[in-house]
Structure 1
Amino acid sequence: MNTDLSALTTAAERWDAMAKEFHKQEVAYKRDVYGLSMGPTWTGLSAEAANRRFATTLKEFQKAQVEAKAIASLLRDAHTQFTSLRGKLASAGKDAVEAGMKVSDQGLASFDTAKLSQAERTAWVHDPDYQDSVRKSVSSWQQLIDQLVKDMDDADKDVQTALQAVVVDGDINDGTLTGFNGQAQGDVDKYTGQKPVGTKTDGWDSEGKLKLTGLGAGFSVTTDPKYGKEGSVKAYTDLFHATAEGTLTRGDWKLAGIADGYGGVRATANYGFNNKGVVGKAEASAGLRALTEERAEYGPYAGVYGRADGFAGAEAGVNAKATKDELTVGAKAFAGAKGGVAGGGEVAGIGFGATAEGWAGPGAEAWWGYKRDDDGKFHLGGKAGASPIVGGAAGFEITVDPDKLSKTVGDAADAVGDAVDSVGDGIGSVKDSVTNWF
């Protein structure tokens, strides 16, 4: 009843302003970027490929305006609905008071005996029929107030559903699966009845994202002369790359999954000799890759994972790295198809995993080392395999997560401390009781 609903219209004005800014960027992008692939000075396959990608981005600027305007309209629609429903609720409360009721700040109706005349008070105390009529009246007003509160709550949920659904890109043919919504609607009723996106299901919080890219090619050379010789060379032609991720969380429980698919040709090489260490790596591959992985974790205390992957094509590479965060060495060469499975578990931040692969085609692979990833987790492991025609590979990995380990140790120490405190309190209680005896 005390919420400042004007915040909704203020936000709507800012979303309209955002749409205008997107329009400015659309005009600039169409002139300075998209226009390059449309002029006479750039022709051929590269211009055609660029034009398709530029057109996708140009459409995103256009769809962003549609989405922003729709959100502004939804906020104004919400303001209109909320204002009307709150007015009805306030009017019902006023009518109830005029009918001899009291209405608390929590919306509870009751009979206001303070306004009774002496005759009415006598009837209230001694007349069963009068008492029954009062109970029915209180019940009737309570039902009306409860229904109006429910109507407001339902409207609030409908607005929530609309605001979550309006930003979902449902067009799978526009070049992107997670872009702006070009079919966004500015009417809350258009989304009524839809299931809210990313909300709790049976107590679980769900999140997910999907990324898809199409044809692409590139070549780059980088150098950094600050600390001696180091640099990289990269060339690639991507046919597609799709990644889908999702998580479910509930309290300390977390379930996560990822699926990734890639097709294309890549070649990379980098070298370095600087204050961080020595790095040398070269790798080339052509073919199709796919991977899926699932994890289940309970806080920092325990977790398990399973993974399956496959590859069809050819690959070769060699690497050596020696830095303060990594020491690895390895080499591989393979042509054909292979598939593998992996699994493992973790307790208190210390994990162990194993992998096994089957190969159809000639090849060999071996690597060993340890490294510390971006999350601070340490990995120690190795892998080896060979295949004249049919063969395979096997490997293992030990991981240590300092954050989870310290958290588990800390929780254990707290538990021991609580136990000691409980024992101490118990001993103190016994001592006090014995003392009281004397």
Structure 2
Amino acid sequence: MGAGNPTYQDVVTIDLGVLITAAKDWDDMAHTFDDLGRLYGTKVESIANDGSWAGVSRGVAYTRFTGTRKQFTDAHTEAHAIASLLRSAHERFAQLIGHVKNLVEQAVKDEMTVNGSGEAVYDFRKITPLRHDPDYPKYVTQAKDAEAAWTKKIKDAVRAVDDEDQVVSRALREAAGVGGFLEQMLENLGQGQDFNGAAVGDLTTYEKEVKKEEAEQRAEAERKKKHDGTVKAICHGIVKDFRSLTGSPVLIWAVSSLER
């Protein structure tokens, strides 16, 4: 959906039709590669296999022709996978964005206004006539709680769109064989990767990979937090013991720096 995390405005104004258009273009490209591959096999590759050509040059040509034919096959696989991913992305985004819009409609029915940041806002003027009512503070609190609750639901729904955006981005990059910084540098030098003949057009495959990586990152963060806490506790114990053994302010300050 573009650079950075999608905002509420991005989510409710995005035109998902471009995904369907792009999917059709990639399907057309896949068919074109398939046609070209078959034509190449019939008109070019067959020359090295029809028995009229012999010798070392025939072997070299056969290897080169076969490699080129495989490129057409791999290009067809990659294009077809990307088309499939784009269609699946359209379906998922339509559901998730529909949920966001549905929440907004429900919030409006609950007398809220949703601003451009996706925040639910209540018009407190509606309860101004009740300001002399003994329960007025309770009405204000209830309205504020409702604001917070609707805002959280909407922001959580927007975050779900962002999570899906990460999965789709990962899927498209991998299906297209887009590598890391080094691979992209080599591609700029004319030594990039070939078409991805192993491209998969199933978003679920990439979703599992993303979730696995996120789980590993959370586990690593938790291990680091636990380790840092243990080290801090040990240092605190050392400082405490040292303070009981010496009265030197300088030494106490030096050892206390271990806790920082």
Q: How does the TM-score come out when normalised to structure 2?
A: 0.66
Q: Give the C-alpha shift of residue 116 in structure 1.
A: 4.5
Which structure features the higher share of helix residues? 2
The 3-state SS of whatever aligns with 1:182 is: coil
Q: Which residue of 1 aligns with 2:257?
A: none
Q: Aligned pair 1:11/2:18, yes or no?
A: no
Q: Distance in 1 between matches of 2:140 and 2:159?
A: 28
Q: 1:161 to 1:115 in 2, by over 3 A?
A: same
Map Cα deviations across residues 300-326 of structure 1 (whole Å, 9 max, x no partner).
xxxxxxxxxxxxxxxxxxxxxxxxxxx
Q: Give the C-alpha shift of residue 49 in structure 1.
A: 2.3
Q: Which residue of 2 aligns with 1:181?
A: 196
Q: Give the C-alpha shift of residue 58 in structure 1.
A: 0.7
The 3-state SS of whatever aligns with 1:110 is: strand
Q: Aligned pair 1:148/2:163, yes or no?
A: no
Q: Which residue of 2 aligns with 1:86?
A: 97
Q: Distance in 2 between matches of 1:83 and 1:62?
A: 32
CA-based RMSD of the aligned residues comes to: 2.4
Q: How do residues 153-172 of structure 1 correspond to structure 2 at under 5 angstroms?
A: 153-168=162-177
Q: How do residues 89-238 of structure 1 correspond to structure 2 at under 5 angstroms?
A: 89-116=100-127, 118-119=129-130, 123=133, 127-168=136-177, 178-192=193-207, 193-194=209-210
Q: Aligned pair 1:54/2:65, yes or no?
A: yes
Q: Which residue of 2 aligns with 1:35?
A: 46
Q: How does the TM-score come out when normalised to structure 1?
A: 0.40
Instruction: Choose 1 or 2 for highest CA Rg.
Output: 1
Q: Distance in 2 between matches of 1:117 and 1:9?
A: 50
Q: 1:122 to 1:161 in 2, by over 3 A?
A: farther
Q: Give the C-alpha shift of residue 29 in structure 1.
A: 0.8
Q: Distance in 2 between matches of 1:122 and 1:44?
A: 103
Q: 1:16 to 1:168 in 2, by over 3 A?
A: same
Q: How many residues align?
A: 188
Matched-pair contact (CA < 8 Å) for 1:33–1:54:
yes
Q: Give the C-alpha shift of residue 122 in structure 1.
A: 5.0
Q: Give the C-alpha shift of residue 44 in structure 1.
A: 2.2
Q: Aligned pair 1:72/2:83, yes or no?
A: yes
What amino acid is the match of 2:166? K
Which structure features the higher share of strand residues? 1
Q: Distance in 2 between matches of 1:37 and 1:122?
A: 96
Q: How do residues 333-348 of structure 1 correspond to structure 2 at under 5 angstroms?
A: none
The runs of 5 or more residues in structure 1 that have no matched partner are: 171-175, 196-438
The 3-state SS of whatever aligns with 2:40 is: helix
Q: 1:155 to 1:169 in 2, by over 3 A?
A: closer
The 3-state SS of whatever aligns with 1:4 is: coil
The 3-state SS of whatever aligns with 2:15 is: coil
Q: Give the C-alpha shift of residue 17 in structure 1.
A: 0.6
What amino acid is the match of 1:186? G
Q: Give the C-alpha shift of residue 21 in structure 1.
A: 0.8
Q: 1:169 to 1:101 in 2, by over 3 A?
A: closer
Q: Distance in 1 between matches of 2:206 and 2:49?
A: 39
Q: Which of 32, 37, 41 lines up with 1:26 in the alignment?
A: 37
Q: Distance in 2 between matches of 1:142 and 1:100?
A: 13
Q: Distance in 2 between matches of 1:27 and 1:122?
A: 84
Q: Which residue of 2 aligns with 1:44?
A: 55
The runs of 5 or more residues in structure 2 that have no matched partner are: 1-11, 180-190, 212-260
Q: Give the C-alpha shift of residue 142 in structure 1.
A: 1.0
What amino acid is the match of 1:129? K
Q: Distance in 1 between matches of 2:132 and 2:200?
A: 60
Q: How do residues 273-312 of structure 1 correspond to structure 2 at under 5 angstroms?
A: none
Matched-pair contact (CA < 8 Å) for 1:169–1:181:
no
The 3-state SS of whatever aligns with 1:102 is: strand
Q: Give the C-alpha shift of residue 76 in structure 1.
A: 0.7
Q: Aligned pair 1:2/2:13, yes or no?
A: yes
Q: 1:45 to 1:32 in 2, by over 3 A?
A: same
Q: Give the C-alpha shift of residue 3 in structure 1.
A: 1.8
Identity of aligned residues (%): 35
Q: Distance in 2 between matches of 1:181 and 1:68?
A: 9
Q: Distance in 1 between matches of 2:90 and 2:38?
A: 32
Q: Give the C-alpha shift of residue 188 in structure 1.
A: 2.0
Matched-pair contact (CA < 8 Å) for 1:19–1:66:
yes
